[in-house]
Structure 1
């Protein structure tokens, strides 16, 4: 499955996060539970029940406490209580974001239950990641879950397994690599190596399962961490405090001990967008979903260990968006489609008027009018094939290669933009009520 450029990159700083006595507890005899998850744009999306309401959360090793977005839509149902207003800082160049800190919330994930969970509810409706992923997503959760369990993420089967550390036994695995973890503010860091311009460079990386990219590296000329001449400037993702832009390129190789990933994607974010992230001493970047998904991973926070085992995604080629377009869900539109529940044919009503002339009303019962998702262009890379073809930010995409967009998911459409260079893409768009057709060819940039 090719990768889509939708990023959820959050740096949420909360200090003094010890291993609290308030814990998740698995309510079964095995002290272990498996939860089915969805892998959307390299992100793990799991069901989380909060105060009796089931929501969808991204499992994010890069956050310290659960954060709820879409807050205004779910606040009444969740019955959030014991609140205080705070302001959060994260990635991006914008201002701090207002949020409510809430205590004494009941969280349930599968058979795992916690009766006194803090969460942070964000007011800013621009932080609606559902529109960027094309599915309902209400928030993110990380440290509190990883702290209390051995967490196994099986990217190849789509299952998350939670186990009480006292019941977990490591299996002999000759094809695995195990690493020590370092923690800062409740977030895990790993030591790895990258090869740039024939130089092997040790790097300390945040393990960020809430980012859908492969690698982010912070440019540092003294260490040799710089982009090659083959790069392009692009939108990298949405941070808590705004959008993040930077360079996209490749590294010759990325090493996790004996595991080698060649020609791995890398992004070099603008320094102004990551000033807070760079405050962590000796941090060189992030290791995210496009690499994590190539392994089945075991996180053991209590022993400060992480274990990697290659899976069926390991040999997938790294690709990039060759169109220059980023799409988001943008409300709904009325669509005329065949109604499979009705018989073929038309219904005819006749009425005689005073002049003995028949008035005929013909209703075509083969079709129905439905509300379907609308997808809008929200980012357009400068000098990209799509921009040169004449497309604009704000265009609503109606069809892709002569097929209506509502027949695709947002991820399926974005995957088309990662296809082979030279492939023709034909888009029909609605621009302020006027239907226009454009075509362009995907272009490889490095």
Structure 2
């Protein structure tokens, strides 16, 4: 989820196995090598890479361990690329109620530079979905899932913004400085076990999904265990935008998370509401997921073939976990001009107290015009320091008439609510 969050693991896919005939589908290095590095764009620790489909122009894709099959968010782009569709599938959205329709396009070629995806199936959404740009700040047109990881060890260095793609037989030994824990691949998704120490209540031995496509720190599904409790201090919040709807629930902290001797303290934790499709999570046996806000503080290696997860501290490991202190969920409008608006205002927050409203448009932040801001920088500012003074100049529309607005300037101090 992009939380302000993004994707809690994009969607729950209900699909049968897709079988190739000639070659084995997967991602491979184009030329023989021990390893190959490709840079990625990091936005709130989400991993974005340019991908060319069937020799078409490159478009941004999210690398996500939380989905099984590659997804293209735009049928318009799929049609421009003259993709072949064999049938339709219904997908259950992340909110558990929305049903999305997708077209199955088999046997596509996906080019990431020195790495190529052979005979790749794409699920192409019937309705174009470009709303992730509003919460990431970067256009994203699809997701690459399990296929990218299934044969080759993959190292992700968040500090250098580099993916290292290793030859299939490499990394038999644990690299210097890395620790490891067993990792189980179930239904094409990676899981590890960790101990969660709560602020109140029992410790929870948890099975957790490693979810690169969600930018929360830790997420715990309360319906999966009676031991999981809301902390003494929490807030209701929009947990983020994903395919198939918004996610709602609560945000608080847990005392610590420990796996393989690596201990994270005082972690911001999401507790989503139960939905009618929570049974899918219960059947998986997991209690929650680890997202990129936590993973981005480490360097990790995902080795699906040997079922092991390797990790070491990154440069930001010791940074405190902070949640938004403004109460504003900023959104970027999908226009040619850079435009940020207030997506929502949290109840009881600093922004609500001074009268900031949903759909107010930012013109300046701390006297700096919006053209000089990136969405990720704005999110960091709103998490930066309790008591920090923020001044915003806003355009407030009073009707659907674009000329019917007023310009207002408001100051407030950031308030830590959890």
TM-score (norm. length: structure 1)? 0.85
Higher strand share: 1
* Residue among 192, 195, 200 paired with 1:193: 195
1:300-311 paired onto structure 2 within 5 Å: 300-311=303-314
Match of residue 345 from structure 2: 380
Q: Measured at CA, do residues 177 and 274 of structure 1 come closer, stay the same or move farther in structure 2, by a change above 3 Å? A: farther
- Checking the alignment, whether the CA contact within 8 Å between 1:43 and 1:289 is kept in structure 2 is yes
Match of residue 72 from structure 2: 68
Match of residue 435 from structure 1: 407
Match of residue 349 from structure 1: none
**1:52-96, CA deviations, whole angstroms, 9 ceiling, x for partnerless residues?**
121111110000011111443x23432211342221113114420
* Residue among 31, 36, 58 paired with 1:33: 36
Match of residue 218 from structure 1: 221
* Residue among 183, 186, 192 paired with 1:184: 186
What is the CA–CA distance in structure 2 between the aligned matches of 1:117 and 1:125, rounded to whole Å?
20
SS of 2:5's equivalent in the other structure is coil
Q: Which moved more, 1:408-417 or 1:89-98?
A: 89-98
- Using the TM superposition, give the Cα deviation of residue 222 of structure 1 relative to its aligned residue in structure 2, in angstroms: 5.8
- Checking the alignment, whether the CA contact within 8 Å between 2:196 and 2:256 is kept in structure 1 is yes
Match of residue 365 from structure 2: 400
**1:263-292, CA deviations, whole angstroms, 9 ceiling, x for partnerless residues?**
011110001276154233421001110111
Q: Measured at CA, do residues 25 and 282 of structure 1 come closer, stay the same or move farther in structure 2, by a change above 3 Å? A: closer
Q: Measured at CA, do residues 439 and 124 of structure 1 come closer, stay the same or move farther in structure 2, by a change above 3 Å? A: farther
Q: Measured at CA, do residues 274 and 236 of structure 1 come closer, stay the same or move farther in structure 2, by a change above 3 Å? A: farther
- Checking the alignment, whether the CA contact within 8 Å between 2:11 and 2:91 is kept in structure 1 is no
What is the CA–CA distance in structure 2 between the aligned matches of 1:305 and 1:66, rounded to whole Å?
23
**1:302-349, CA deviations, whole angstroms, 9 ceiling, x for partnerless residues?**
1111111111121111001001111111144xxxxxxxxxxxxxxxxx
Match of residue 401 from structure 2: none
1:139-158 paired onto structure 2 within 5 Å: 139-158=142-161
1:58 corresponds to 2:62:
yes
Which has the larger Rg?
Answer: 1
Match of residue 133 from structure 2: 130
- Using the TM superposition, give the Cα deviation of residue 169 of structure 1 relative to its aligned residue in structure 2, in angstroms: 3.9
Q: Measured at CA, do residues 252 and 198 of structure 1 come closer, stay the same or move farther in structure 2, by a change above 3 Å? A: farther
- Using the TM superposition, give the Cα deviation of residue 254 of structure 1 relative to its aligned residue in structure 2, in angstroms: 0.7
1:314-393 paired onto structure 2 within 5 Å: 314-332=317-335, 372-393=337-358
Match of residue 12 from structure 1: 12
Match of residue 282 from structure 1: 285
* Residue among 223, 239, 244 paired with 1:241: 244
- Using the TM superposition, give the Cα deviation of residue 13 of structure 1 relative to its aligned residue in structure 2, in angstroms: 2.4
Q: How large is the RMSD of aligned CA atoms in angstroms?
A: 2.1
SS of 1:135's equivalent in the other structure is coil
1:417 corresponds to 2:417:
no
- Checking the alignment, whether the CA contact within 8 Å between 1:51 and 1:79 is kept in structure 2 is no
Q: Measured at CA, do residues 5 and 190 of structure 1 come closer, stay the same or move farther in structure 2, by a change above 3 Å? A: same
Question: How many residues are matched?
Answer: 404
Q: Which moved more, 1:226-235 or 1:434-443?
A: 434-443
SS of 1:24's equivalent in the other structure is strand
- Using the TM superposition, give the Cα deviation of residue 171 of structure 1 relative to its aligned residue in structure 2, in angstroms: 4.2
Q: Measured at CA, do residues 242 and 273 of structure 1 come closer, stay the same or move farther in structure 2, by a change above 3 Å? A: farther
What is the CA–CA distance in structure 2 between the aligned matches of 1:138 and 1:221, rounded to whole Å?
32
Q: Measured at CA, do residues 276 and 328 of structure 1 come closer, stay the same or move farther in structure 2, by a change above 3 Å? A: farther
**1:349-370, CA deviations, whole angstroms, 9 ceiling, x for partnerless residues?**
xxxxxxxxxxxxxxxxxxxxxx
Unaligned runs of 5+ in 1: 333-370
What is the CA–CA distance in structure 2 between the aligned matches of 1:303 and 1:221, rounded to whole Å?
28
- Checking the alignment, whether the CA contact within 8 Å between 1:212 and 1:289 is kept in structure 2 is yes
Q: Measured at CA, do residues 31 and 18 of structure 1 come closer, stay the same or move farther in structure 2, by a change above 3 Å? A: farther
Q: Which moved more, 1:379-388 or 1:229-238?
A: 379-388
- Using the TM superposition, give the Cα deviation of residue 126 of structure 1 relative to its aligned residue in structure 2, in angstroms: 4.8
What is the CA–CA distance in structure 2 between the aligned matches of 1:376 and 1:66, rounded to whole Å?
30
What is the CA–CA distance in structure 2 between the aligned matches of 1:83 and 1:131, rounded to whole Å?
31
What is the CA–CA distance in structure 2 between the aligned matches of 1:305 and 1:17, rounded to whole Å?
24
- Checking the alignment, whether the CA contact within 8 Å between 1:218 and 1:285 is kept in structure 2 is yes
